[in-house]
């Protein structure tokens, strides 16, 4: 038993029953014969294998360093959760089908043909037990971007109809309704009006022309709507020309997480077109890690050419306007620690921005160990938080975060990712934890000097 589970034991038999062992199933979508599933998977694996992929596949020296970088392996010590092993079937497909010596692998049976049963078993490894946090990619001495390869492997799994049902459902809902959580344009407009009253500030929606387009994640709209008001308060204090647009307000990209490139592109293009339609020179993304990666680092690929505007995460925007003296904030007497969202910091490069903001706020920052680019993932990213059969494993890996927070001595955790916030709050309820996670954006909005 870990130190955390000793301190925060599950108190009753009934509560223990709320986290059952993962259901021994491998979800499928569509009425498709097994051979056709296998054909679709292999065809799309091959489609994603380019020179970079081949270099990665040939580069692994089996040193095992990625294992110690993965929260799933560290917490379970189960070798199947070693990051590079999660790619074994993808690697097997590469070796057998498209590698320079593929003919010989097939001729002499050096790499066996993959079966649909193997793909079903593989589902847990690349969906339930990988957040694509990139810690393994960062630590790999050969420079293999394992997280990106997992994302590529998900493309083939989606095409084969072999992804967890819950993740497929929210991705499908995002495609059909514009939001994975039912935050339709009408719902968003209602929440924006509510937040305008709550924060006593103008929340601009559908202005024809604006210099800045801002967006929200579905989690913020439905669970943390104060983010809408906080964003408006900051931008109004700066006197910026800005707007939300109902044709492109949702920054979350579940197509990317599920592995459907077409759905990913459709979600991305909504934001791009919304920005173009209002003449925005800057798109400010919300406190959402995967939203940042989807537009900031993959948006141009979806668009097919360089984006005609600048893209910033909200923490980068806040750091810029505070550093330039345009936005002044009060000092806050608070001891905090900071959780670095994987997709914003380690994968996105915006590690220092929130620290610039916290320094301006004057908080007593107690850094976690490790911190920054090496910080441990919350365990809920990459769509994992939607997969209920993964709950028991997700809580197990979250104990790492709890240990980090406890060791910091801080009473409050700040972050700049609503998905991390949801993961924290869910674990807080599960463990009866006494630590809160708060939004850095909201803290800034509450302490603006007019």
Residues 424, 333: one domain?
yes
Average pLDDT rounded to a whole number, residues 413-417: 97
Residues 195, 155: one domain?
no
Coil, strand, or helix at residue 177? Answer: helix
Evaluate whether residue 254 is within a structural domain.
Answer: yes
Residues 36, 152: one domain?
yes
Q: Rounded CA gap, 293 and 288, in Å? A: 9
At residue 20, the pLDDT reads: 46
Short-list 327, 340, 235, CA closest to 283: 235
Q: Which two tokens stand for residue 18?
A: 């709320």
Band of the pLDDT at 342, cuts 50, 70, 90? very high
Evaluate whether residue 8 is within a structural domain.
Answer: no
Domain count, the chain: 3
Do the beta carbons of residue 214 and residue 195 sit within 8 Å?
no
At residue 25, the pLDDT reads: 58
Residues 198, 298: one domain?
yes
Band of the pLDDT at 10, cuts 50, 70, 90? very low
Evaluate whether residue 273 is within a structural domain.
Answer: yes
Band of the pLDDT at 7, cuts 50, 70, 90? low
At residue 266, the pLDDT reads: 96
Q: Could you tell me which residues come within 8 angstroms of residue 210 by beta carbon, excluding any fewer than 6 positions away?
A: 204, 241, 242, 243, 278, 279, 280
Residues 244, 182: one domain?
yes
Q: What is the largest CA-CA distance in the chain?
A: 74
> Residue 266 is part of which domain span?
167-321
Using CA atoms, how far residue 196 sits from 134, 202, 209, 217, 402, in Å, is 38, 6, 20, 18, 35
Question: Within 13 Å of residue 290, how many CA atoms lie on the same side as its CB?
Answer: 28
Q: Rounded CA gap, 205 and 207, in Å? A: 6
Residues 149, 275: one domain?
no
pTM of the model: 0.91
Q: Rounded CA gap, 324 and 304, in Å? A: 34
Evaluate whether residue 7 is within a structural domain.
Answer: no
Residue 230 belongs to a domain with what CATH number? Answer: 1.20.1050
Helix (H) or strand (E) run with residue 145 in it: none
Report CA torsion sign: 386, 171, 341, 78: positive
pLDDT digits (tens, 9 = 90+) for 129-161: 999 999 999 999 999 999 999 999 999 999 999
Q: Which two tokens stand for residue 418?
A: 């609503």
Evaluate whether residue 377 is within a structural domain.
Answer: yes
9, pLDDT greater than 60: no
Evaluate whether residue 305 is within a structural domain.
Answer: yes
Residues 352, 280: one domain?
no
At residue 111, the pLDDT reads: 75
pLDDT digits (tens, 9 = 90+) for 42-74: 888 888 888 898 899 889 999 999 999 999 999
Residues 340, 426: one domain?
yes
At residue 50, the pLDDT reads: 87
Residue 387 belongs to a domain with what CATH number? Answer: 3.40.50.1860
Q: Rounded CA gap, 182 and 222, in Å? A: 8
Q: Rounded CA gap, 363 and 333, in Å? A: 6
Q: Rounded CA gap, 413 and 435, in Å? A: 7
Residues 61, 158: one domain?
yes
At residue 17, the pLDDT reads: 37
Domain boundary among 163, 192, 215: 163
Work out the percent of the chain whose per-residue pLDDT is above 70: 94
Evaluate whether residue 19 is within a structural domain.
Answer: no
Band of the pLDDT at 6, cuts 50, 70, 90? low
Band of the pLDDT at 5, cuts 50, 70, 90? low
DSSP E strands in 10-63: the ranges are none
Evaluate whether residue 21 is within a structural domain.
Answer: no
Residue 56 belongs to a domain with what CATH number? Answer: 1.10.1060
Residues 147, 121: one domain?
yes
**CA 33 from chain center: how many Å?**
32
Residues 235, 287: one domain?
yes
Average pLDDT rounded to a whole number, residues 83-107: 84
220, pLDDT greater than 90: yes
At residue 152, the pLDDT reads: 92
Domain boundary among 321, 337, 356: 321
Residues 364, 313: one domain?
no
**CA 249 from chain center: how many Å?**
18
Question: Phi and psi (nearest 5°) for 415?
Answer: -155, 175
Short-list 381, 388, 394, 382, CA closest to 165: 388
Domain boundary among 148, 163, 178: 163
Question: Phi and psi (nearest 5°) for 357?
Answer: -65, -45
């Amino acid at each position: 038993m870990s130190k955390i589970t000793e301190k925060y034991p599950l108190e009753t038999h009934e509560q223990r029953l709320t986290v059952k062992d993962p259901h021994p199933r491998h979800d499928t979508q569509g009425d498709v014969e097994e051979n056709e599933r296998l054909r679709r998977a292999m065809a799309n694996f091959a489609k994603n294998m380019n020179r970079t992929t081949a270099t990665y596949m040939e580069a692994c020296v089996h040193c095992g360093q990625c294992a110690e970088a993965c929260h799933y392996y560290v917490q379970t010590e189960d070798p199947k959760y070693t990051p590079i092993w999660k790619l074994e079937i993808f690697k097997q497909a590469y070796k057998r089908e498209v590698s320079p010596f593929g003919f010989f692998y097939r001729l002499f049976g050096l790499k066996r043909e993959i079966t649909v049963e193997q793909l079903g078993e593989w589902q847990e490894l690349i969906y339930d037990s990988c957040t694509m946090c990139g810690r393994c990619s960062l630590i790999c001495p050969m420079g293999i971007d394992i997280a990106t390869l997992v994302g590529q492997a998900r493309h083939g799994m989606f095409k084969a109809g072999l992804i967890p049902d819950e993740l497929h459902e929210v991705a499908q809902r995002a495609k059909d309704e514009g939001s994975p959580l039912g935050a339709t344009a009408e719902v968003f407009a209602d929440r924006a009006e509510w937040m305008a009253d709550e924060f006593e500030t103008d929340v601009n929606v559908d202005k024809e022309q604006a210099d800045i387009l801002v967006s929200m994640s579905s989690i913020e709209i439905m669970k943390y709507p104060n983010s809408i008001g906080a964003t408006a308060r900051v931008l109004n204090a700066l006197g910026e020309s800005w707007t939300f647009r109902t044709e492109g307000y949702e920054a979350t990209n579940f197509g990317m997480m599920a592995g459907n490139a077409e759905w990913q592109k459709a979600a991305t293009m909504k934001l791009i077109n919304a920005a173009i339609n209002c003449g925005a020179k800057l798109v400010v993304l919300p406190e959402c890690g995967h939203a940042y990666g989807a537009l900031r680092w993959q948006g141009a690929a979806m668009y097919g050419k360089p984006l005609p505007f600048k893209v910033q995460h909200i923490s980068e925007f806040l750091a810029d306007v505070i550093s330039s003296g345009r936005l002044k904030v009060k000092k806050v007497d608070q001891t905090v620690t900071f959780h670095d969202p994987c997709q914003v910091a380690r994968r996105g490069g915006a590690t220092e921005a929130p620290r610039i903001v916290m320094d301006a706020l004057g908080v007593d920052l107690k850094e976690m160990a490790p911190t920054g680019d090496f910080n441990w993932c919350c365990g809920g990213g990459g769509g994992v938080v939607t997969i209920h059969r993964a709950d028991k494993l997700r809580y197990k890996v979250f104990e790492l975060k709890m240990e980090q927070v406890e060791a910091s001595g801080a009473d409050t955790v700040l972050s700049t990712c609503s998905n991390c916030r949801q993961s924290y709050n869910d674990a807080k309820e599960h463990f009866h934890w006494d630590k809160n996670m708060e939004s850095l954006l909201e803290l800034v909005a509450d302490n603006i000097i007019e």
